[in-house]
Structure 1
Amino acid sequence: MTMIRMRDGTHLRVKTLGTGRPVVLIHGWPLSADSWDAVMIGLAESGFRAIAYDRRGFGRSDQPPGGYDYDTFADDLAEVMAATQATQDAALVGFSMGGGEIARYMSRHGGRGVSHAVLVSSVVPYVLRTDDNPHGVPASVFEEMTEGMKTDFRAFFTGFFRQFYGVGILKHPVSDEELQWAWNTTMQAGQYATLQAAAAFAYTDFRPDLPHLTVPTLVIHGTADATVPIEATGRAVAAQVPSADLVEYEGEPHGLFATQAQRLTRDIVAFLRGETIEARQGMLDALTADALAVGPL
């Protein structure tokens, strides 16, 4: 484990895997870099250098009293990139609130060193419902979340992660152990940091940042995402960013890094290699058809 010191003295925990072109992975709320482990392994095995870090206040990074806003988060990303020498031909991959770091980095830091971007279940461009963003999440939902975290921080996340992973009476896309890991990881974070970061992703409007997202961009989003609705986010980015391609995971919930880890990794690798997702899917469909034609051995 490596700790990198930010300009304000905050230390962020960073881990790397593999060699080759750098891919910086930014985790979602309220988890840590460890949520990217399966994807990091796949990237490393595919010839990339995967870099992931715990956002300030989360995981095993420091819990400073301030800096829980997207300008600071984007500056932290810039410093992590510099410290890990991910400053040329780098790809940025952001999950959920991590997509906000990418959008703000592209505008605030001019997209320096970035050649590709991937937004997974991302809150970009604007997750809050407003008159000009009718498909967003009502403010009352975020207010209820805040009240729940303040009333019983630990109990709140037991219910939250069931929606996050799409767990229901008849559907259980992840194991009980995955749910427990997510809860345990959240408990590493500071309660203040968790509340402040929630406000940041809920109320930050990234629409002014979108014109700066000029590099090839892959948007991946589950159609059944009840945490970050696809209509206000993934589909909105695809409609407003000329360089963006949208891949919808039919029927999938928010936590794609766990519910569809292999597919997500394959799609990211294909995109970074310059392959079209359609071409790769066509090859997979052909292989499946051949296997069905041969029949069981």
Structure 2
Amino acid sequence: MPAKHSRPGFIATADGVELFYRDWHPQGTPGNGRTIVFVPSYSLPGDMWAYQMLSLARQGFRCVTYDRRGHGRSSDPGGGYDYDTLADDLAALIDALDLSDVTLVGYSMGGAEAVRYLTRHGSTRVARLALIASTLPMLAKTPDNPDGIDRDYNDAFLHDLTTDYPQWLADNARPFAGPGASQAMIDWIREMALRTSHQALFACNETVNRGDFRNELRDIDVPTLIVQGDRDESNPLELTSQRTARLIPNARLVVYEGAPHGIFLSDAARLTADIGAFASA
């Protein structure tokens, strides 16, 4: 059953989940008219892309984002937080809006969803891929990934998630956003994260930590831009983007010196310009 519009601003997936989306396409604005689809972070809705989308829409791009299931205004279905289903949700959005020549931009966990979309649904509708501070190719420490993140670190996060998530956010928001972010901006990010379903947070965390895209990345067949800060404490550069760039054919890595994980906030203008230039190429 194909995805369809269930009501204005929402599409319904094959399993009955309603996904909220934003589609900013100013009429009469000069520009090349190309489409950029933004996939949000773990724990955050599509609103996180507001500053990139507003600027790029004013430049003439059609900018689309959505709230992952269990996040923001989308349904909280109680399941479907594996990468296959999440990639199918992204496909439902792209198909329902009949998008083509897309620059697909994924941040953190959203980067893995974008890759799974391409390997599961193909690149017929997608011309370019941008991976921003992604969790790729693999975060967990295993015998064949000895430099990965130890399970004890994740267990500590899950303890905080299930006991005092607001305090965890308060403790970690500043390192995430960087020293230049205003307190108001940090409060905005925290408020969005606090609206996310706890079940979705728990299940998506497990999905991220089970993710292994080391073989899958070799199958990406579109030009790829990879952007990450060298002070990313969540997804260390040497564990993620540097390895991802070596695995994806036709990939280009851009490192922002001094940037934290929340690069869409700390280096908003530079990131917007880099995405715009890549989408125009």
Give your verdict on TM over 0.5.
yes
- The correspondence for 2:98, drawn from 85, 92, 102, is 85
Question: Within 5 Å, which residues of 2 pair with 1:52-63?
Answer: 52-63=65-76
Q: Which residue of 2 aligns with 1:268?
A: 275
CA apart distance, 1:21: 1.6
Contact 2:34 2:279 in 1 (8 A): no
Q: 2: CA distance between counterparts of 1:40 and 1:135?
A: 35
Amino acid at match of 1:120: I
Determine whether 1:229 maps to 2:236.
Answer: yes
Q: 1: CA distance between counterparts of 2:149 and 2:173?
A: 17
Q: Number of residue pairs matched? A: 268
Q: Which residue of 1 aligns with 2:121?
A: 109
> Which string of whole-angstrom CA distances, capped at 9 and with x for unpartnered residues, describes residues 179-219 of structure 1?
11111111211111111111111221112321221100000
Q: Which residue of 2 aligns with 1:238?
A: 245
Q: Which residue of 2 aligns with 1:122?
A: 134
Q: 2: CA distance between counterparts of 1:215 and 1:144?
A: 37
Q: 2: CA distance between counterparts of 1:224 and 1:52?
A: 27
- The correspondence for 2:266, drawn from 251, 256, 259, is 259
Structure 1 residues 215 and 139 mapped into 2: Cα distance closer, same or farther (>3 Å)?
same
Contact 1:135 1:229 in 2 (8 A): no
So what's the TM-score if we normalise by structure 1? 0.87
Contact 1:33 1:53 in 2 (8 A): yes
Amino acid at match of 1:108: R
Determine whether 1:24 maps to 2:31.
Answer: no
Q: 2: CA distance between counterparts of 1:160 and 1:25?
A: 24
CA apart distance, 1:149: 0.5
Contact 2:9 2:21 in 1 (8 A): yes
| Stretches of structure 1 lacking an aligned partner (at least 5 in a row) | 167-171, 275-297
SS across alignment from 2:124:
coil
Determine whether 1:217 maps to 2:229.
Answer: no
> Which string of whole-angstrom CA distances, capped at 9 and with x for unpartnered residues, describes residues 204-251 of structure 1?
111232122110000000000001111111101111112100000011
User: Percent identity over the alignment?
Assistant: 38
Amino acid at match of 1:17: W
CA apart distance, 1:151: 1.3
Q: 1: CA distance between counterparts of 2:153 and 2:97?
A: 38
Question: Within 5 Å, which residues of 2 pair with 1:172-183?
Answer: 172-183=179-190
Determine whether 1:191 maps to 2:169.
Answer: no
Contact 1:135 1:231 in 2 (8 A): no
CA apart distance, 1:163: 2.6
Q: 2: CA distance between counterparts of 1:256 and 1:120?
A: 8
Please report the RMSD computed on the Cα atoms of aligned residues, expressed in angstroms.
1.3
Q: 1: CA distance between counterparts of 2:149 and 2:87?
A: 24
CA apart distance, 1:141: 1.1
- The correspondence for 2:57, drawn from 18, 31, 44, is 44
Q: 2: CA distance between counterparts of 1:242 and 1:178?
A: 36
CA apart distance, 1:112: 3.0
Determine whether 1:153 maps to 2:160.
Answer: no
| Stretches of 4+ aligned residues off by more than 2 angstroms | 129-136
Determine whether 1:208 maps to 2:220.
Answer: no
So what's the TM-score if we normalise by structure 2? 0.92
Determine whether 1:140 maps to 2:182.
Answer: no
Contact 1:136 1:229 in 2 (8 A): no
Q: 1: CA distance between counterparts of 2:253 and 2:87?
A: 24
SS across alignment from 1:245:
strand
Q: 1: CA distance between counterparts of 2:12 and 2:200?
A: 18
CA apart distance, 1:128: 1.5
Q: 2: CA distance between counterparts of 1:17 and 1:131?
A: 45
> Which string of whole-angstrom CA distances, capped at 9 and with x for unpartnered residues, describes residues 77-118 of structure 1?
0000011221x2111000000001111011111223111000
Contact 1:25 1:52 in 2 (8 A): yes
Q: Which residue of 1 aligns with 2:30?
A: none
Contact 1:103 1:124 in 2 (8 A): no
